[in-house]
């Protein structure tokens, strides 16, 4: 089993074995979906909307977050709260806020570009906490931001054994393999000892900002709209302790689910603009022509700035923040193209998909393949190059990316519209106000960034 950069290994297997790869470890079936068509065909069915039971998630306190919830009533209630607030028709309520945050960020970056990573991380936290709870975070030591970061660090550490730890994890849960038999690279017994502390951190990270949000709402001090306020207004007098618990976890999942992904998106955007000055100049020229220099672009200018939009889409394609999506699980036996897919299978969409260097039987395999995903040279010529022109400013070309990078079916990302608006606001504002250039050394030579991507759930 690959332990690092799993999407690359999976892509090699895809090339060798085709669109659907069946693996088994300790009797646990794992299905890898390597084409867009197959991922869509399968994952859009309700029976694929489950998540596997993750002992790792339970131990670290993430089992109540709806991203990892089974396909059950708690998931439905939490998902509804998030989807109602983040639906494409609702997100424009946050546009003015997102635009002004993009402007503050551009101002801060101009003042001190050396704090880029730090400023982006703070801004992602500010946006998500403001939208979820109506509380405005302006400094890094804000207690809610600190707590959410601590809980994300728990998540990252508990998932540190890599995506494939899930197989061992499933077995741990069914007592077939006990922790002492797990390989040494799994966090093991130390992990168990730490688990209690981690659960406490995660619980506090979701309850504390909610309690503040509710209190601010009652005292008239909350920034509106926000997800908690909207949900509380809809619930009215019917707020039972159980429903409140679901609201708390829904808001917590939104904040945590968006944090890393927004940071990754914004950092990759800046990187792409540094590495591709011609793209930057072309996007700036589009803004100059369409918007002029008397005002700053807004999110509603998206329609008339297709090249800037393409730049954002190309950032998502080249560097999908969750290259293998989040695992789905199959709740009933299924038959697809004559293949039997057993109930209980863990199902993974290879959103990344690349073909790597050509090999002998590539041609034969390609004939059997319909549409691969974000690095398929058949769909995206020279897939490792950053080239927004490939979309020809056409929405349906861009949708080849946006319909895959946010996942599939009932579990697809509820934050899609917010993420697209946030990234567009950031891209358009930074392009309109800044020259994004590499650092220079003492001799004025460009120092190009040395980039290493992490492996694990987020890339
Ligand atoms: C920046 C770009 C983002 C990308 C590329 C992204 C991608 C994804 C992907 C691939 C999934 C898994 C879908 C599946 O299981 O098939 C997912 C799920 C999820 N995302 Fe995002 N996401 C982004 C931003 C956000 C934001 C801003 C939020 C919240 C405000 C968010 C909240 C969630 C939640 C809560 C889930 C779990 C959904 C469920 O299990 O029902 N994401 N996202």
Q: What is the pLDDT along the chain (459 residues), one digit of tens a residue?
A: 566 677 777 777 777 788 899 988 878 899 999 899 999 999 999 999 999 987 777 778 888 999 999 999 999 999 999 999 999 999 999 999 999 999 999 999 999 999 999 999 999 999 999 999 999 999 999 999 999 999 988 887 766 544 445 444 444 444 333 333 344 445 555 666 677 788 899 999 999 999 999 999 999 999 999 999 999 999 999 999 999 999 999 999 999 999 999 999 999 999 999 999 999 999 999 999 999 999 999 999 999 999 999 999 999 999 999 998 999 999 999 999 999 999 999 999 999 877 655 444 444 434 333 356 899 888 899 999 999 999 999 999 999 999 999 999 999 999 999 999 999 999 999 999 999 999 999 999 999 888 877 776 777
Distance, CA of 101 to chain centre: 20
Residues in contact with ligand 1 (CB, 6 Å cut-off): 66-67, 79, 82, 86, 253-254, 257-258, 261-262, 265, 321-322, 325-326, 328, 405-408, 411-415, 418-419
**Atom number in ligand 1 closest to CA 69:** 40
**Atom number in ligand 1 closest to CA 261:** 1
Record the pTM: 0.91
Residue that has been written with the tokens 């890094």 in this structure? 140
- CA–CA gap between residue 218 and residue 129 (Å, rounded): 18
DSSP 386: -
DSSP 343: T
Q: Whose CA is nearest to atom 8 of ligand 1?
A: 406
Among residues 379, 393, 409, 428, the alpha carbon closest in space to that of 273 is found at: 428
Q: What is the C-alpha R_g of the chain?
A: 22
Residue that has been written with the tokens 């659960």 in this structure? 199
pLDDT of residue 53: 82
Answer whether 359's CB lies under 8 Å from 15's CB.
Answer: yes
The answer to whether 359 is a known ligand-binding residue is no
Residue that has been written with the tokens 């993974």 in this structure? 348
**414 Cα to the center of ligand 1, angstroms:** 6
């Amino acid at each position: 089993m690959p332990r690092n950069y799993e999407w690359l290994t999976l892509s090699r297997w895809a090339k060798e074995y085709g669109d659907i790869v069946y693996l088994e470890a300790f009797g646990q079936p794992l299905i890898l979906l390597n084409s867009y068509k197959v991922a869509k065909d399968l994952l859009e069915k309700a029976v694929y909307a489950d998540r596997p039971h993750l002992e790792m998630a339970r131990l670290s306190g993430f089992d109540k977050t709806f991203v990892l919830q089974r396909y059950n009533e708690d998931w439905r209630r939490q998902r509804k709260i998030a989807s109602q607030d983040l639906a494409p028709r609702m997100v424009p309520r946050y546009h003015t806020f997102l635009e002004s945050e993009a402007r503050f960020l551009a101002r801060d970056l101009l003042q001190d570009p050396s704090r880029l990573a730090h400023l982006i991380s703070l801004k992602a936290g500010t946006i998500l906490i403001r939208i979820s709870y109506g509380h405005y975070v302006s400094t890094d030591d804000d207690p809610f931001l600190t707590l959410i970061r601590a809980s994300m660090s728990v998540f990252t550490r508990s998932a540190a054994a890599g995506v494939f730890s899930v197989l061992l994890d499933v077995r741990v849960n069914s007592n077939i393999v006990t922790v002492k038999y797990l390989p040494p690279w799994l966090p093991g017994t130390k992990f168990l000892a730490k688990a209690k502390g981690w659960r406490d951190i995660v619980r506090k990270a979701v309850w504390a900002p909610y309690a503040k949000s509710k209190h601010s709402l009652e005292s008239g001090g909350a920034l509106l709209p926000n997800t908690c306020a909207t949900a509380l207004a809809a619930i009215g007098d019917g707020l039972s302790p159980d429903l409140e618990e679901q609201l708390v976890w829904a808001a917590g999942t939104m904040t945590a689910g968006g944090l890393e992904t927004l940071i990754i998106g914004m950092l990759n955007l800046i990187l792409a603009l540094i590495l591709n000055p011609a793209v930057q100049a072309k996007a700036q020229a589009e803004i100059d022509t369409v918007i002029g220099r008397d005002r700053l672009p807004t999110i509603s200018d998206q329609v008339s700035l297709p090249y800037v939009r393409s730049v954002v889409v190309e950032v998502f394609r080249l560097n999908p923040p969750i290259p293998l999506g989040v695992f789905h699980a199959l709740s009933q036996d299924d038959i697809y193209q004559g293949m039997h897919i057993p109930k209980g299978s863990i199902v993974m969409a290879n959103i990344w998909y690349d073909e790597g260097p050509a090999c002998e039987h590539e041609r034969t395999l390609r004939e059997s393949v319909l549409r691969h995903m974000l690095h398929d040279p058949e769909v995206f010529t020279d897939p490792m190059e950053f080239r927004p022109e490939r979309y020809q400013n056409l929405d349906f070309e861009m949708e080849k990316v946006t319909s895959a990078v946010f996942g599939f079916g009932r579990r697809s990302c509820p934050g899609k519209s917010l993420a697209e608006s946030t990234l567009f606001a950031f891209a358009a504002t930074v392009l309109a106000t800044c020259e994004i250039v590499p650092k220079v050394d003492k001799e004025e030579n460009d120092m190009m960034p040395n980039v290493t991507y992490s492996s694990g759930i987020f890339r």
